Structure 1
Amino acid sequence: MFSSEEQAAKNYLWVLAVILLFTFSSMVLISWVIDPFGVLRKDRGFPELCAEGIKTTDDRTSIPLLPLKTQFSEAIIGNSRIKRGFTRESFEGNALKKTANLGISSLTMEELYQLSAPLIQSKQLDTIWIGLDFGMFGKRNPDAMKVYETSQTSYDRLSSYLSGALSFKAWRETTFVIRRFHNCRSPVRDYQGFIISGKYWHKRNNAWNEKTTGSDSVELTRRRLLKEFSETDNEQASRYQYHLTLLEELLKKAGNNSVQLNLFINPSHPDYFDILDKAGKLNNYRQWKLDIETVIQNAPRTAMGPRFMDFSGWYVHKDFMPLGCRDNFAPPCPFSDFTHYRPQIGMQILREFQK
């Protein structure tokens, strides 16, 4: 016979186990319904409760999952400049291809390689656009980003279930969506990775415009960038050279797998170069551009390319900016801050490649 204390302890453990099981089951069920990463698709329950699409801002988890469930013939990859600067409308002129926007905020060169290499080898794509950025080559890799092997016939349901409903990240992002329920009905990005200009994004974008157009906010952003560039570790030759080597490897893989690479250096606001100069990194930037050109020129030439264009000089001086846009970021000016350009510039970049 159990003593009263032992029986009470046993009952407590049973109650605790039931509570934990109920909590776990509830989180799995809610994640299954909400599908924050947009990976469960038609497998999820009660699809009418939440709109289709990616409902989280965790790019490093959601974007590498896209190729598991989305078939596309070309992709554009880069950091937040690509994410925000290229819309679905940018590629509407090419009706023969289905394009994915795999832009990830603060993407590093290691992550770009991790994301691009499996896609090149998958035989799923025939064209990849890559927007190159100076900061990619000096940053250390942040939190690990998991990538997945994909192919023309891949439909890894197990990975989808594990990532979409049975992972801590899925529960964390589900909680994020619950706290902002309108985000469930108005996803952040669609199943091809393009930003959806819905209620949630408009709210964030309006807040962003208010934040970036005020004189105090502009000055704070300038100081933040100056600090970031001053601390950028491009001087460490081994890491910088390793990043260039990764680019060389990507070019070789693309040539070996008959994938066309369209590479370009992103345009920047004129003040971006002033900040680089004050941080003592303008010469590093110029050398980086020369190194990029050398790597691409030395890559094996095939009928598929690679093709390369440098758009950094488009707005290098304030005189190149449209009238009324030289001292602010208000729409319809081409930049929303010192680094991010608006979709009108993305469309202009694509037109340059089509010439």
Structure 2
Amino acid sequence: MDSPTASRRFLLWLALSFALVCAAVACLNYLIDPYGLFGTPRIQGFNAIKPAAAERVRVAKPYMATAARPATVIAGNSRPELGLNPQSPCWPDDYKPVFNTGIPGASFYMQTQYAKHALMAGGGKRVLLAVDFLDFLTNTATPATRPDWPALARSYAGRLHIPGEDAPAWQRIHQQAQDQLGALFSLTTLADALGTVARQRAAFTADRRADGFNPGRDYQAIIRSEGQHVLFAQKNAELRERLANPKLGLFPPGQHSNESFEALKGILGWAKQHGIAVTVFINPYHADYHRIIAESGLGETYAQWTQRVAEIAATAAVPFRDFNAQGFELGETPPGPGVRGEHIRWFWEPAHYTAELGQAMLERLLYNSICDVQYQDTRTADAPRHP
């Protein structure tokens, strides 16, 4: 039988080996940083592109914003995340650095909270706030309740620092430890880290840049392999299904507001208190999008929504733009079935606009008449071209 000394020595070596393996995993996960969570420098050919970050946007963006310390914030959902480029030549020097806090699938209130956090992180003074029709729709058959803002933010508040609205200290410590230690000592993170390195040279791999922007590389991949027709068909079907509920509308019974309208008023009031300039704008939609809204019986609701948003912006004395009424050609016909590698100028699909349309939008939002010309000189050589 082994002596007690030999058993202790074996257990000691086992514990040491386990600790070394854990340390090695943590170091590798930190160096590659597959989600952009730690702000590790991005090195071309090693970890510059973050394919796995697309699935961890809600976790990573608060930490990315803290590292970026932006002077200007782009806020909204996945539409401005794909369309408004923080590296556009449109931005004046005093607007930089710019960070895109767009969060796919988030409630409008969540979008505003992430924007507040990013503004506080860098002492930011400007925000371009995108509003989206679907984010303001509600089930009109559901009785109205007063929004419980802390409860609505409970799942993510620990990641945010908003003076006067911070979660309790214990929640922030627990949430941030869970996010960061979980990412360091995780075999899932290790697999994503190794996949990050392996996919650096793959064409059109999904990505989230350090400035929060989604360059749409996964859209480009679909366009090259299946064609843009597939993107349009899929999004149109999703939109029809989502708007098929006959109980959709803007206000609960007997009310003249809802959670998202109150959140819009809330961030405009908050921004005024903190001396932050806000520009509110409505995302542009392709003609297919408008057509499906009308076919779903929500055309009048949409018109009522745009008017209400404009009224709230006017009451707060902030600039407002509706990019569905700016003279853009929103009815472009996408390439037909079987056509691969080409896309129309302004849209990836009916709901999401390209950075080229975003460039034209920034020209109007920032009153910069030269940025569209400069954009033509900065297009990436491998980007799919419109006809």
TM-score, scaled relative to structure 1:
0.75
Aligned partner of 2:343 in structure 1 is 331
Report the alpha carbon displacement of residue 75 of structure 1 after superposing the two structures with TM: 1.0
What is the CA deviation profile of residues 69-127 of structure 1, one whole-angstrom value per residue up to 9, with x for unaligned ones?
11221011111111111224424441232111122212321211221233455671010
Q: Distance in 2 between matches of 1:82 and 1:221?
A: 17
Aligned partner of 1:206 in structure 2 is 221
Report the alpha carbon displacement of residue 160 of structure 1 after superposing the two structures with TM: 11
Q: Distance in 2 between matches of 1:79 and 1:169?
A: 28
Runs of at least 5 residues in structure 2 that lack an aligned partner in the other structure = 140-151, 164-172, 337-341, 368-387
- 2:108 touches 2:260 (CA, 8 Å); kept in 1? yes
Aligned partner of 1:179 in structure 2 is 195
Matched, 1:145 2:156: yes
Report the secondary structure of 2:297's partner residue. Answer: coil
Q: How many residues align?
A: 327
Matched, 1:192 2:211: yes
Q: Distance in 1 between matches of 2:182 and 2:214?
A: 24
- 2:239 touches 2:292 (CA, 8 Å); kept in 1? yes
Identity %: 17
- 2:34 touches 2:193 (CA, 8 Å); kept in 1? yes
Report the alpha carbon displacement of residue 343 of structure 1 after superposing the two structures with TM: 1.1
- The change in CA–CA distance for 1:134 and 1:173 in structure 2 (over 3 A counts) is farther
Instruction: Give the aligned residue type for 1:191.
Output: A
Report the secondary structure of 1:313's partner residue. Answer: coil
TM-score, scaled relative to structure 2:
0.70
Instruction: Give the aligned residue type for 1:206.
Output: A
Q: Distance in 2 between matches of 1:113 and 1:131?
A: 10
- 1:264 touches 1:308 (CA, 8 Å); kept in 2? yes
Instruction: Give the aligned residue type for 2:343.
Output: P
- The change in CA–CA distance for 1:239 and 1:337 in structure 2 (over 3 A counts) is farther
Q: Distance in 2 between matches of 1:60 and 1:144?
A: 10
- The change in CA–CA distance for 1:53 and 1:144 in structure 2 (over 3 A counts) is farther
- 2:74 touches 2:80 (CA, 8 Å); kept in 1? yes
Aligned partner of 1:221 in structure 2 is 235
Aligned partner of 2:116 in structure 1 is 117
Runs of at least 5 residues in structure 1 that lack an aligned partner in the other structure = 3-7, 152-157
Aligned partner of 1:251 in structure 2 is 268
Aligned partner of 2:383 in structure 1 is none
Matched, 1:351 2:366: no
Q: Distance in 2 between matches of 1:124 and 1:313?
A: 33
- The change in CA–CA distance for 1:106 and 1:260 in structure 2 (over 3 A counts) is same
Cα RMSD after superposing both structures: 4.1
Instruction: Give the aligned residue type for 2:192.
Output: F
